[in-house]
Chain A
């Protein structure tokens, strides 16, 4: 009886291994798909980073400022803290 139990156990484990190996065999395609998706996302990241860098470049911002009507400050005024801009009068 004991020797039959062992053989049955071995047979069950063998069947399990076949089932699991069969499932794992198909994972290769999934891994390949994930790898392709990962590369696409990394590529998209590169594109986005490039666009952000371009949008925040000084040349781009200068042009945008000019289009919005900004001009270079001709003269800079400094307000002395001794003389506040507005005062209370009661």
Chain B
């Protein structure tokens, strides 16, 4: 009896052992075994999406893709390590110690060596027949215009998980549209690795990135970059910028800054250069701001071009003395002459006529203290003084553009108001986006609000034309054209006071005055040949204007 019970117990135990083992393989190890089986029977890989191109206004390429590769190594399969290290170090231009350290990663079956290597370099490596070294295609950007427009375009680099991502400029702002969406392929394979046509499979096609078309005109951009660089050298300046914009629509036709960087080797440059100074840095606009204040006063009808005031001498405000730039006082002058002679004393009068409340109201209407909405990710907005902190002296100095900080893009957008009948527009770099099927999404011009009256716009334009013709400086004005504009020479604030020597020289204007095709702002930082806008920024403005008028086939008046 006990023997049969013993045998029964033995079989029962064996039964539970088998059940347990089956449970282990079929339930606990299910995922591991299913993955192993999947790997044996299926191939799966990502179908990478091509990043979209960035195109100029004429459809020509500013940024596209070029063939490039990830070079990787399988350390266990590497042969002749010393020779391999030498070859890789020479061809990839990497330090031998770095290559050796990567290949010495003992636990790794696969290690990446170098990213975004061009085809010619890869072909050189392939010819060496290096065991344990492989290549995988990856994206790399190509800039046919070299470093032109670097601060507009931005660059592409790897993010923290190794995927491509756009940084700064258009690559950063429009990264989502440009990157597209990778696809996926999973297919049953035969023992030779070939796909089985009637087997199981799944495919999601990649969606290539969209192309982004800019308003930037390549000819205009090249012209302003070349001339800005020459101007910086000629005037012995530290930095500078130029923006050219269509006043009616806010389309940015050209945008240049110096110093800049080369986006194809961005890591070799100071990170501070990645930001676009036309949207990311602020300055005190100086006398160019007089055009805005005068336009506000004209629109409010508190002054007319013929309104007169006395310019007998310096004006005392709250214990401070406000002088003219040249310390010359002309007696009875009208509003047009205030702009022609860039009279700070005259502008204080205008500011008093306008009044603090109206002045601050117009500051806001012209868009100061607010984002312009331009489609660049690095825009900064300098804060305006809170309303209750404006003292009499602050109002006085602000009328001639000191004690107030603006960005170049805010300034040019405000002056565009004077040029286009009084409307504040939203500036834009991008004109349309085209998907991989050819469908276009246009980014329409946006008018934000009416700031000054159309009549006010016409009056201030005429005053600014007179300011150019009868101004203090005698720069060469293109013959036969009416150009509206204003010079500016602003002192630079340093540690609570203004530097005696250093200035930001600028000129802002638009042409042809009666039907402006473009508005342009030129700023030159710390010129050493002369501190004055009339002797640096103004001649540069007129030189570029001459070219632009010819380029746009705008004929002079007889």
Contact = CB atoms under 8 A, between A and B. Distances in A.
A16 interface: no
Interface string A70-90: 000000101010100000000
B267 interface: no
Nearest to B218: A58
Contacts of B189: 28
B64 interface: yes
B37 interface: no
Contacts of A50: 64-67, 142, 144
Interface stretch (B20-28, B194-202, B387-395, B517-525): B194-202
B355 interface: no
Interface residues of A, number: 25
Given A46-B65, A50-B64, A57 B145 contact: yes
A32 B194 contact: yes
B104 interface: no
Interface stretch (B162-170, B174-182, B293-301, B550-558): B550-558
A80 B556 CA distance: 10
B93 to A, nearest CB: 22
Contact of A80 (B196, B197, B218, B558): B558
B219 A58 contact: yes
Contact of B66 (A28, A31, A46, A82): A46
Interface string A10-43: 0000000000010011011101100000000001
A21 B67 contact: no
A27 B66 contact: no
A67 to B, nearest CB: 18
Contacts of A8: none
A49 interface: yes
A24 B197 contact: yes
Contacts of A59: 145-146
A27 B193 CA distance: 12
Q: State the main secondary structure of chain A at its contact with B.
A: helix
Interface string A51-71: 011101111100000000000
Contacts of B144: 50, 53-54, 56-57, 60
A50 B64 CA distance: 7
Contacts of B194: 28-29, 31-32
Nearest to A58: B222
Interface residues of B, number: 30
Given A25-B190, A53-B144, A76 B550 contact: yes
A53 B197 contact: no
Contacts of A56: 60-61, 144
B452 interface: no
B339 interface: no
B146 A49 contact: no
Contact of B67 (A24, A46, A54): A46
Contacts of B192: 28-29
A25 B196 contact: yes
B10 to A, nearest CB: 48
A54 B62 CA distance: 10
Contacts of B66: 46-47, 50
B347 interface: no
Contact of A49 (B64, B119, B197, B222): B64
A80 B480 CA distance: 13
A57 B144 CA distance: 6
Interface string B128-165: 00000000010000101110100000000000000000
Contacts of A60: 144
A90 B229 CA distance: 56
A24 B64 contact: no
B146 A53 contact: no
Contacts of A43: 67, 137
Contacts of B550: 76
Contacts of A27: 197
A52 B67 CA distance: 14
Interface string B103-118: 0000000000000000
Contact of B556 (A25, A49, A78): A78
Nearest to B195: A28
B145 A31 contact: no
A58 B226 CA distance: 12
A12 B117 CA distance: 57
Interface in B525-557: 550, 555-556
A4 B196 CA distance: 35
Contacts of A47: 66-67, 119
Interface string B22-63: 000000000000000000000000000000000000001100
Instruction: Give the one of B67, B148, B550 with max A CB within 10 A.
Output: B67
A82 B555 CA distance: 14
Contacts of A32: 193-195
Nearest to B61: A53
B67 A58 contact: no
A81 to B, nearest CB: 9
A77 B144 CA distance: 33
A43 B123 CA distance: 14
B213 to A, nearest CB: 15
A53 B64 contact: yes
8 contacts: A24-B197, A29-B192, A32-B194, A52-B61, A53-B61, A58-B145, A58-B218, A58-B219
Given A49-B61, A58-B145, 11 more contacts: A21-B198, A25-B190, A28-B192, A29-B192, A29-B194, A43-B137, A50-B65, A56-B144, A58-B222, A76-B550, A80-B558
Interface of A: 21, 24-25, 27-29, 31-32, 43, 46-47, 49-50, 52-54, 56-60, 76, 78, 80, 82
Sorted nearest first, the 7 A-B pairs with minimum C-beta distance are A28-B194, A53-B144, A57-B144, A53-B61, A27-B197, A28-B195, A50-B66
